[in-house]
Amino acid sequence: MVLSYYVAMRFSWLNPSWAAITVAVVSSGDIGQSLGKGVLRAKGTLLAFLAGLFFIAVFPQDRWLMLLSLSIFLFFVTYKMTGKQGQYAWFVTGFVTLMIVTAPVESPADSFEFAAYRALETLTGIGIWTLISVFLWPQSNIDSLQKNGRRLIGAQKQLLDIYRSKLNNQETAVDFHTAHDEAVKILAQFGQSIEAANFESIGVRRQFPYWQQRRESSQSYITILARLDAGLPDLHGINIALIMPTLEPLFTELDRLFTEELIVSEEDMSACPLQPVALNLNKELIGDLDHFQRAALEVLFNDLHRCSGYIKEALRPVDGMGSTPMTMPHRASKSVLSLDPDRVHSALFVVASLWVGMLLWIYLNPPGHIGWMQLLPTVALLSAQMPHIRLPLFKL
């Protein structure tokens, strides 16, 4: 950070704090995470540089056409930001574009200077951090990836043990919701470790589809167990052990797989694959149940099948850290016209914030003036990126 300040001030750049802030932001986390964040921040800044100057050049005097085109752009950026790829790059694209468009300058030439210095100082901060982190204090994220992988296996095993005990009407030392929240937290850390290691390890990069599949399968497994736990009251009064005589052997086999995986993962090996255990239903006893109990049993039966499949995918053996590329099963591509309602909601939320800020500036002109056009959409972008912190007051 000191070096970034020195370079920016030595050459009398517009705002030396931009380079220092970039170093502070990208340096959070492990080295691989920082390198990845730096690449994404650079991509987002360059996109914002082009987009901001485009809007200023095309709509220099028409604020309503500017607002309309900027709304379409922010809708697209927010929709991409709430997806699975390059979220941070799209976030940077959105808020830096707003900075350039709303910059307090007197002429288009000043706007170009503002945008150019913003891009230059951001790239300088990223370059300084990369040089120091790679050549002076190099670190590896492979150990972090393996450690978080073992922690995730332990959290998944704990969830299964708690659900198994509750299904058998036994007391548990840890509440399921507490264990579930911890598993979700570890899963997020595991995902960050994958992204970080992907930037520094060729082996992880070659096996990246496997790691992505493992993360997605683990997430689906945690989600299904949470749904099964929520459906336990519907199974009250049903003798599960008699109706599903092979349920306990299935739980035992899953527990065996988790336990072996925890042991052998310390030695970079793989556990024995999951042995198939067929779930059988006693149809004679099912006939004595009412319709609601039968529906609850059907949900239990189907979800346990899915659980077994997700565990099998999540713990599938991998060839070391990726000596050869891995072929993943083909997935049907989604239609281009199919939109996610939640992502559309977030995009509309950001666009509405832009319009509110613009109208505040034009008709009320409070202190801060055009800054409201930047502040409100930026806060909305943060809220869309982290929906768990969104205040009910700001929901559409």
Per-residue pLDDT at 396 exceeds 50: no
235 pLDDT more than 50: yes
Q: What percent of the chain has pLDDT over 70?
A: 84
Weakest mean pLDDT among 119-128, 196-205, 209-218 = 196-205
Question: 306-365: per-residue pLDDT in tens?
Answer: 888 888 777 765 544 443 444 444 455 555 557 888 899 999 999 999 999 999 998 998
Q: Is pLDDT of 119 > 70? A: yes
CA distance 22 to 126: 7
Question: Which pTM does this prediction carry?
Answer: 0.64
Q: Which of 261, 292, 284 is nearest to 153 (CA)?
A: 261
pLDDT of 282 higher than 80: no
CA dist., res. 272 & res. 288, Å (int): 40
What lies within 8 Å, CB to CB, of 57 at 6+ separation is: 108
Whether pLDDT at 7 is above 60: yes
**Res 326: pLDDT:** 41
Read off the pLDDT band of 281 (50, 70, 90).
confident
> How far is 251 from 162, CA to CA, in rounded Å?
11
Classify residue 270 as exposed, middle or buried by CB count within 10 Å of its CB (0-12, 13-18, 19+): middle
* Tokens coding 50: 């082009």
What backbone torsions phi and psi does residue 106 show, to the nearest 5 degrees? -105, -15
- Domains (ranges, CATH) in the chain? 2-139+336-394 (no CATH), 145-314 (1.20.58)
Q: What is the pLDDT of residues 50-63, one digit of tens each?
A: 999 999 999 888 88
CA 39 to chain centre: 17
| Residue 139, pLDDT score | 63
